[in-house]
């Protein structure tokens, strides 16, 4: 079908449901993404990896152990093996039978829904060529023709640089971890990232007014992660961030 003329997204303050509304439903499942839609989050975020037989699936950890009833690394299991797993029961009985979603079904399901999509390339260094594969999937599902529908982000900045060059029209983000930048984020890095990223998404503990200004001066946006309580939500809002990444979308209201 042709792309919708206009989709009305929620919120001037960008309220991103982290791994879906993962405080309310099992992370990185359709249940958690549907919940994000129901709660009128601006966007939902999830993590993409690749199966042994080359399919793109949504899973945070590099193994299925924590969030399913199976065992093993995503890259050592076939799609068929992964689709048999229960990705909901660990979170609560009422979610029994939730499946590990594929990237394709997720993009198709939310294409015309009033919510934006944030795709994290999780450990892309384990999956050579995943940037090209994700870009191809975005084109194939018609996502690239809907302005600002999708952001692609990663902790791996070189992967994002690669992605930007493959698909310059899609927005991109660099995620900044506390362990890698415990001494703060150097300005030189921000300048480097500016060449290929629209968003800088740091651990909230790295955020202060000066960092927000440096990011805004470079015409980028900042969305700290992962906000779990009202106090932290208020603190980062007071520092002038553009939005936040949270397990509880009600905190961004």
Q: Point out which residues bind Ca ion (CB under 5 A).
A: 47, 120
| Contact pattern from residue 114 through residue 153 relative to ligand G3P, giving x for each residue in contact according to CB under 6 A and a dash for the rest | ------x---------------------------------
Q: Which is nearer to ligand G3P, 81 or 120 (CB)?
A: 120
In three-state form (DSSP H/G/I as H, E/B as E, the rest C), the secondary structure along 140-174 is HCCCCCCCCCEEEEECCHHHHHHHHHHCCCCEEEE
Among 18, 99, 161, 214, binds ligand G3P (CB under 6 A): 18
Q: Return the structure tokens found at 118.
A: 């944030």
Q: Which is nearer to Ca ion, 34 or 120 (CB)?
A: 120
Contact 181, 147 (CB under 8 A): no
Which positions are catalytic? 18, 60
Q: Return the structure tokens found at 205.
A: 């503990």
**Neighbouring C-beta atoms of residue 65, cutoff 10 Å:** 12
Q: Return the structure tokens found at 165.
A: 């060059």
Rounded Cα distance between 176 and 187, Å, is 13
| Contact pattern from residue 29 through residue 68 relative to ligand G3P, giving x for each residue in contact according to CB under 6 A and a dash for the rest | ----------------x-x------------x--------
Q: Which is nearer to ligand G3P, 84 or 189 (CB)?
A: 189
Residues that bind ligand G3P (CB under 6 A): 18, 45, 47, 60, 120, 175, 201, 225, 245
């Amino acid at each position: 079908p042709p792309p919708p003329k206009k989709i009305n997204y929620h919120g001037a303050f960008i309220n991103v449901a982290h791994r879906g509304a993962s405080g309310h439903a099992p992370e990185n499942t359709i249940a958690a993404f549907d919940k994000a839609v129901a709660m009128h989050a601006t966007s939902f975020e999830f993590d993409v990896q690749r199966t042994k037989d080359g399919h793109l699936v949504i899973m945070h950890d590099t193994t299925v152990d924590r969030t399913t009833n199976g065992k093993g690394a995503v890259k050592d299991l076939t799609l068929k093996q992964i689709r048999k797993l229960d990705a909901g029961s660990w979170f609560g009985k009422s979610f029994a039978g939730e499946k590990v979603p594929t990237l394709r079904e997720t993009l198709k399901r939310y294409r015309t829904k009033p919510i934006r999509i944030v795709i994290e390339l999780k450990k892309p260094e384990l999956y050579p060529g995943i940037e090209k594969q994700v870009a191809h999937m975005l084109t194939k599902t018609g996502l690239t023709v809907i302005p600002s529908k999708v952001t692609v982000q990663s902790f791996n900045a070189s992967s994002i640089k690669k992605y930007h060059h493959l698909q310059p029209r899609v927005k991109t983000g660099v995620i900044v971890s506390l362990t890698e930048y415990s001494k703060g984020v150097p300005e030189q890095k921000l300048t480097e990232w500016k060449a290929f990223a629209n968003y800088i998404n740091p651990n909230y503990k790295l955020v202060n007014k000066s960092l927000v200004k440096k990011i805004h001066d470079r015409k980028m946006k900042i969305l700290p992660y992962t906000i779990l309580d009202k106090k932290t939500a208020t603190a980062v809002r007071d520092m002038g961030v553009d939005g936040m990444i949270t397990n509880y979308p009600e905190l961004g209201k």
